Amino acid sequence: MTKITFIEADGTRHETDAEAGATVMETAIMNAVPGIVAECGGACTCATCHVYVDKEWEETVGGPSAMEEDMLDFAFEVKPSSRLSCQIKVKDELDGLVVHVPGRQG
């Protein structure tokens, strides 16, 4: 199991156990983390699964693909640490990952 912590805009923390092979978005949905809407179900066509990767984790997680970057144009308040959580696959190296949920989604 890979531990992933979601932190809401108001500071509420959700510590979850993610399954390898799932995505960070699927982990949020399975654990009823508020603020991850995921309208398109992970097809990278909605940008409502937007998260900010914690500073400590940006390098390990890496940046978005070109397709994801195009979709991020539709998200609110995009920052350099922005990612679409449906495009981040859970793997062992991400054990302890912290992501921040924006105050609102597109």
Residues within the interface to ligand FES (CB under 6 A): 25, 38-40, 42-49, 71, 84, 86
Of residues 15, 23, 29, 84, the one with CA closest to residue 52: 84
The nearest distance, CB 100 to ligand FES, in angstroms, is 16
**Could you tell me the smallest distance in angstroms from the CB atom of residue 49 to ligand FES?**
3
User: Given the complex with ligand FES, which of 11 and 24 has the nearer CB atom?
Assistant: 24
What is the closest distance, in whole angstroms, from the C-beta atom of residue 46 to ligand FES in the complex?
3
Map residue 26 onto helix, strand or coil.
helix
Q: From residue 98, how far is each of 7, 66, 67, 70, 87 by CA, in Å?
A: 7, 23, 23, 24, 15
